[in-house]
Amino acid sequence: MKQFSRKPLPVILLLLLRCFSISAQDMLIDPTDSIRISGEGWDEKIITIADFSNFKTIPLNEFSILDHNGIVVRKIRDAEGFLLKDLLSEFHLETDSPKNLSAIVFTCIASDQYCVRYSWNELYNTEIGNQVYVLTKLNNLPISRQKERILMVSLLDFKTGRRFLQGLQKIVIDLY
């Protein structure tokens, strides 16, 4: 009678646990249908997916979402989006002095509380601001038909996954 080694069992268990953890992470991202933009000293504004049609959308080339190790975790095809700074232009960011614009920070928060921050200078004074998109279409389907709904990506990042926000729920404007 041939005896079987028990060594593969721990490996199989580890693989199953890894698969479960990926599924559990995906389930934590609640879908969003609107973005609440607020900040001390500014009136709150809510932008819904239906309002996205008011923004100029741009077709985006195929791109990949890379994790912190540079490994492709998702490929995006047939996407469209509008610039985050176009969305933020809904707020008239007036300050006492133009110097104070450098103190503005936009904190973008997902439904799972993951945060991505951009400075005013980063969005309005560098090329990065011309490549940060709120997606309106993904894989040739409108964002309203995506499981996590509102997505945001910074296409000039080397490792795009760090600032690929799924389930964008709110943007908080702070003056530091």
Domains along the sequence of the chain with CATH: 30-175 (3.90.420.10)
- Model confidence at 98, pLDDT cuts 50, 70, 90, reads confident
86 or 10, which is more confident: 86
pLDDT digits (tens, 9 = 90+) for 112-146: 999 999 999 999 999 999 999 999 999 889 999 98
Burial of residue 176, with CB atoms counted within 10 A of its CB: 0-12 exposed, 13-18 middle, 19 or more buried? exposed
Q: What is the rounded average pLDDT of the residues 62-88?
A: 95
Is the pTM of the predicted complex or chain greater than 0.85? Answer: no
**To the nearest whole number, what is the mean pLDDT of the chain?**
85
Dig out the tokens for 9 from the structure.
């069992």
Contact between 86 and 134 (Cβ < 8 Å): no
